[in-house]
Structure 1
Amino acid sequence: MLKKCFLFVCIIMLASCGSKKSSLSGTKVRSKQLVSKEQYRDEMRKKEQQKKVKVDYHRVTSDVNTKQELTATSTVTVTADLIQNYILQYKGIAQDNMVNHGIPASITLAQGVLESGSGQGTLSRNANNHFGIKCHKGWEGPSVRHTDDAPDECFRKYDSPAESYRDHSLFLVGRSRYSSLFELPKDDYKAWARGLKKAGYATDPKYADKLISLIERYSLADYDKEMLAIMGIPSSVYDDAYVDSSVVVTESRVDSIATKKHIVKKGDTLYAIARKYNTTVSDIQRLNKLSGTSLSIGQILKIK
């Protein structure tokens, strides 16, 4: 009887141990499964992050291919679209200055793009200075300080970009060191770009090449051709007369230039136009069949 009881107790104890072992084993299995899920989730997170990095990398690489760095008075990175928008915004002003001062629109636009960083540079944003023109002796207008070739240099400040464009033209026209530029054909942008560099407009040794590259990349010479056609000036003809009325024009030069044209701008009068082209008010009236002296902005006048 005692033996039977002892045997019964042993069986119960063994059964109890077995159930605990099974329970513990189950716990271990479940624990092992939970760890595996966490690891799986971590792996999935890593893969997702890697995918995102790859996508971002390709996006950035694509952007880099369409961006361009412009370095003049400040260094900025701009897109081709930004440059094109800048050109479209200011081409009219550049063409007006070509008529009034004889500087190719292509040169003015290329300099504006480069010097202002397509309007994104520090000087253009803070001072409306799109051409990096420094104060120089005799400047009495507002100014700002900016580090360029030397620290804290004085640069001109304008009320608007249009004022900067006008001052750029007057700056070139009014300085003797640039006088040789106005003997060049108006459609020879390469000669103008190299002439600007030679005259000392910029210290960058690649300045002329940069201007030429911009002109050719964005077809800026088309704006020169457009204005020359409107003014009736054949390609590659010297036209000192419409740049400065004080220049003596020979008969052979007049014949080669043929009929000139003038686009009326705000503030123009027949008397001022006649003086500009070394002619008379009556001659302009006769050529254009004008009975009075009233003019309209944008009106095209024949000038012989």
Structure 2
Amino acid sequence: MAGLPKANSSLSNAFGDYSTDQPFVFNKNQTTDQFIKKIGEVSREIGQKNGIYSSVMIAQAILESGSGNSSLASEPNYNLFGIKGTFKDQGVTFNTLEQDKEGQSYQISSEFRKYPSYKESLEDYANLIKKGIKGNTDFYKDAWKDQTESYQDATKHLQGRYATDKQYAEKLNAIIKAYDLTQFDQAKESKEVKKITAGPKIKATKTTFDFNERLQAKLLASIANKQRVPQVMTTKHFINLFRADSLIALASTAMPAKKIVTETLPTAASMYVTLSSGLLAILPPLH
């Protein structure tokens, strides 16, 4: 891999032992965890903006740069993807391993782009995937989100195009699975602080009573035991007074009561008051 130094013991354990005849196994390690924390959210934003898989982008950065530990990826070069050439006239020369069609490795010396930070390296990678190579702008088109069903389609397309490694797609898929990198393929959930809106205004509890309320109270008290409207009050006035509070007022064929009820009614009971003209008013319970 471009600029990747000879693996030390920790890096060997991270990538595992493999050959073309064995499935690639990637073991989680602290170095890669820390690297993902550095580039994860930036990769998410760039992936969303360009319609490419951030999971694949991060996996390629891990694989191509040894989780940011290669000489090419380290400060002051920050080249995470082994992209050759120059970036704003800045470049650095490294030896790199390539593979021929038969899978045999060989070493060449090449100039690689040099970036001011990881962010520019990630953005340049996205630009390459979206705009392709000279003479073929659709070279990486089949790796875009809208051209694929899943990230596996993208990694399959990159093998043989982005890298000559015969196990390139398998390695990327193993890394994506080990670190659940597909989480970065989704837009980050917004955590906007909801504005606290003022609730309905609560009016102060009414502590005064108007004339009608006082009159109602007196009338209810006076007719609790004597269910007759006082002679000084007309039936119309009585109905208007209790219109809002009465449960119902019904026409009744019953004649005015001839027998006066003398028993005390409980305050929780509704009162049936006989009115003139054959009307019956049902008043709410006393509280």
Q: TM-score, normalised by structure 2?
A: 0.50
Structure having the larger proportion of residues in helix: 1
| Higher Rg | 2
TM-score under structure 1 length normalisation: 0.47
